[in-house]
Structure 1
Amino acid sequence: MSTPEAKPLRLGLLQYGVGRPEGVAAFGRALEQRLEAGRAQADLLVLPEYACVELGAALAGGDAADERTELAAMVAAAPDILATMREAARRLGVWLIPGTLPMPAEDGRVVNRAPLIAPDGRIAFQDKRAMTRFEAERWGVSQGSDPQVFDTPWGRIGISVCYDVEFPKHVRVQVEAGAWAILAPSCTDSMHGFNRVRVGAAARAMENQCYVAITPTVGTAPWSAALDVNRGHAAVFGPVDRGFPEDGVLARGALDQEEWVFCRLDPAKIAAVRADGQVRNHRDWPARPFRPATPAAFA
């Protein structure tokens, strides 16, 4: 299958302030209001990982729910939540990554799944592949499927959810499949966690000479077992080379505040820097894996 010709993408990233909706309908109304505020300035709108988990407390019946009870309630409601997300994209006529949501896999495990929704309601998914300790040990979310790429009106893009963007191979296989932009919705409860995602995203943009964008949940939600603390800001990174900012940062938001962050991504600039940058990280990525490292001999 041929890859659609890439053209500039107006990207909207929402630093999502965690709230306390009373149910799926209330979540849907708030979602549409947020999307309405961003759609005039963007072609594709991206929300953070697990943004919809703000519903967990209400779905589980109140403040007393523990993490796994909240998760079970979210998984049970996943079809309705996903339908609400699709309807918002259709109603407003937008391309949307509405964050991620915990969903049952075909084998019954719970996976963390990022939908990409077209304005006509068509949908495709990218699972999170690498699990944090919280997800695996305390929450009960399992490893998802391998990385994929998505053909869009702006060419081929990839989604690497939060922890996934900290691993070079996850992004690399997407870039090798033709992705020129990687979107990494995140959810981090400390500045350590946020900075791991930030540094990983910047490194992936440098080593692949591509765009990488992150956007997190923000704010405190003591009523939520899973989203009680949320830190970070949105950012877009590009190659650290000619034609780009000296630090590679194309856009960034204010720390820990809900707001939209917008950035125009031009694939022609990626093609130019790959062809004639000061360095050629994308081309010079090792074609073959190194042999296992062995201890060096001292003489």
Structure 2
Amino acid sequence: MTALRLGLLQWQVGRGGGVAGWAARLDAEVAAAARQGAQLLVMPEYAPLELAAGDAPDLERELRVACDAAVAAVDAARAVARRHGVWLLPGTLPFRDGAAIRNRAPLIAPDGRVAFQDKHVMTRFEAEEWGVEAGAPPAVFETPWGRIGISICFDLEFPMLVRAQVEAGAWLIVAPSCTDTIAGFNRVRIAAAARAMENQCFVAITPTVGAAPWCGTLDVNRGHAAVFGPVDRGFPEDGVLARGALDAAQWVFCDLDPAALAVVRQQGAVRNHLSWPPAPPPCRVVAPE
């Protein structure tokens, strides 16, 4: 496995423009990151949904438009990835899957090949307001840098999902997110740091920022991108390898070497990967005597 230059975009939410408008903006953003040498580019959860935004909030219409445009949006993102020769996760979109709607992230190779990761656990808003349903279990994806995993926002808060990916060989977990409160952002941030520490892997988060016109009310998305590693020898004392400015539209870049994880897994203070059981340990029920 070789070192990777990762680019995380704190995506400023825009309005409208359809697939063509969103694709043009995506192309400009990817071009800027490619000039900085980024090889894997990650946009936030729901970043493409601005393509469905109208002049006034209409949740039902916007969801319908986004679902109808999902395939075209992925095709547009594939063209961008091919044009700039990068691996690209352009955000997540709602996809129709039979009678269900899934929140789905495409991972696109430089030659246009694409694989998908569904959000596995639904937030209350997605389940009740959008009618989005739970998707496929976590997967790992083969890349030139080895296997990586995708954990979409809320999924990161469930330790066993990331653990399954790491046990399947993932050394990096990328987590596109969309949070409209600092509390929500902090849940993702704290979960990312915890998953990196307990699995001795890298976890990268990146959020949407700014006003979100696709919701029933004008929410303001909050957060910043960050990359976390083990809190152990050879790494920063707080485990933070990179972070962006809060609520600012910007790229955050980080160079990651999977070989550094191999060293800390053998010589570090935490050895979870050596000592954890293959399944969760049984939990006893004990009553005072």
Superposition TM-score tier, normalisation by shorter sequence: over 0.9
- Does residue 39 in structure 1 map to residue 34 in structure 2? yes
Contact 2:49 2:214 in 1 (8 A): no
Taking the aligned partners of 2:141 and 2:214, their CA distance within structure 1 comes to 36
- Does residue 283 in structure 1 map to residue 274 in structure 2? yes
Choose which of 85, 95, 107 in structure 2 pairs with 1:93: 85
Taking the aligned partners of 2:80 and 2:87, their CA distance within structure 1 comes to 10
- Does residue 184 in structure 1 map to residue 175 in structure 2? yes
Taking the aligned partners of 2:287 and 2:198, their CA distance within structure 1 comes to 27
Structure 1 vs Structure 2: percent identity of aligned residues?
Answer: 62
Taking the aligned partners of 1:139 and 1:64, their CA distance within structure 2 comes to 14
1:3 maps to which residue? none
Taking the aligned partners of 1:223 and 1:158, their CA distance within structure 2 comes to 28
- Does residue 155 in structure 1 map to residue 150 in structure 2? no
Per the TM alignment, residue 227 of structure 1 is displaced from its structure 2 partner at its CA by 7.0
Q: AA paired with 2:273?
A: H
Per the TM alignment, residue 228 of structure 1 is displaced from its structure 2 partner at its CA by 2.9
Per the TM alignment, residue 64 of structure 1 is displaced from its structure 2 partner at its CA by 4.0
Per the TM alignment, residue 91 of structure 1 is displaced from its structure 2 partner at its CA by 1.4
Q: AA paired with 1:261?
A: V
- 1:45-87 superposed Cα distances (whole Å, 9 cap, x missing partner): 00000001112223xxx3141x232111110111111111111
> Alignment length, in residue pairs?
288
Choose which of 125, 129, 135 in structure 1 pairs with 2:126: 135
- 1:142-181 superposed Cα distances (whole Å, 9 cap, x missing partner): 1000111001000111001100111011101100000000
Q: AA paired with 1:53?
A: L
User: Secondary structure in 2 aligned to 1:99?
Assistant: coil
**1:75-114 alignment to 2 at 5 Å?**
75-105=67-97, 107-114=98-105
1:51 maps to which residue? 47
- Does residue 271 in structure 1 map to residue 262 in structure 2? yes
RMSD of the alignment, in Å?
A: 1.4
Contact 2:100 2:133 in 1 (8 A): yes
Does the C-alpha gap of structure 1 residues 255 and 64 become closer, same or farther in structure 2, counting only changes over 3 Å? Answer: closer
Contact 2:228 2:242 in 1 (8 A): yes
Normalised to the residue count of structure 1, the TM-score between the two structures is: 0.93
Q: AA paired with 1:160?
A: S
**1:1-299 alignment to 2 at 5 Å?**
6-40=1-35, 41-58=37-54, 62-65=55-58, 67-105=59-97, 107-222=98-213, 224-225=215-216, 228-298=219-289
| Runs (5+) with no aligned partner, structure 2 | none
Q: AA paired with 1:94?
A: V
Contact 1:114 1:126 in 2 (8 A): yes
After the TM superposition, which parts of structure 1 deviate over 6 Å for at least 4 consecutive aligned residues?
Answer: none
Q: AA paired with 2:4?
A: L
Taking the aligned partners of 2:91 and 2:199, their CA distance within structure 1 comes to 24
Out of 227-236 and 25-34, give the one that drifted further: 227-236
Contact 1:54 1:227 in 2 (8 A): no
User: Secondary structure in 2 aligned to 1:10?
Assistant: strand
Taking the aligned partners of 2:278 and 2:141, their CA distance within structure 1 comes to 24
Q: AA paired with 2:77?
A: M
Taking the aligned partners of 1:84 and 1:24, their CA distance within structure 2 comes to 8
